Structure 1
Amino acid sequence: MTTSLWASTPNFVGEDLYYSSGFRLFPAGNAILSLKSDSLNGKLTYLLSTSVKTNSFLDAFYTVRDETLSWLNIEDFSLFKTVKEIREGKYHRNHSAHTQGDSLLIWNKKYFTITEPVYDPIAFIY
């Protein structure tokens, strides 16, 4: 069954999306979204990676360097695991969460019971 899932991989897997952002007439930075085939704990997954960076001019005032990796279920794009490194000005935070089975979410060493699949908001683009 897994082979047939990979055989019908959607066209957007392997694609990189590039965005530039600005404020009025001034460029501010860029973002890159990427979706690749991967595996996690022996399961076939999609790996969604995002990178957001301010440009060199804006870096002088407020530097943004955000990186996110999210491993998604290939059947419904629900979340298996996410790792985020947030660097925005003086605010720095590392965050990770992962699911175990279909009823447990682990975040910041705390356990939460879940009754529905969990989704990464950025995955809705796909």
Structure 2
Amino acid sequence: MHKEESTLDLGTIKIHKNVIASIASLAALEIEGVRKIGKNFKMGLWEMVGRRSYSSVKVMFEKNDEVCVELPLVIRYNFNVPEVANKVQENVRNALEKMTNLTVRNINVAVQGIEKDEAASRQS
């Protein structure tokens, strides 16, 4: 049995990869300096045709029941990129372990860009 599913007296509980991706996304967005979750090519295509796709966060389960997360981010302008990325990794790990009881092996952050806040852009 994989760790993302557990059996209790009443039955089996399975945690879908999309739930793990959602938790990772929300935890990343809690960090000051994160502008938004980045996009992958597939997500961009779905948005162009007017459909919402699943998060661009990639979740993989390893053989030893550990979870790996790949998280594309856009960082706010004027923030220290490595510092923000490290805080994201810590917050995502804590959220996933607390909410799912999964063992997190890796949280790989791919910084895809830097953007100013929209309000700040209008004032310039």
TM-score by length of 2: 0.30
Structure number having the greater strand percentage: 1
Structure number having the greater helix percentage: 2
- Relative contact order (C-alpha < 8 Å, sep 6+): which is higher? 2
TM-score by length of 1: 0.30
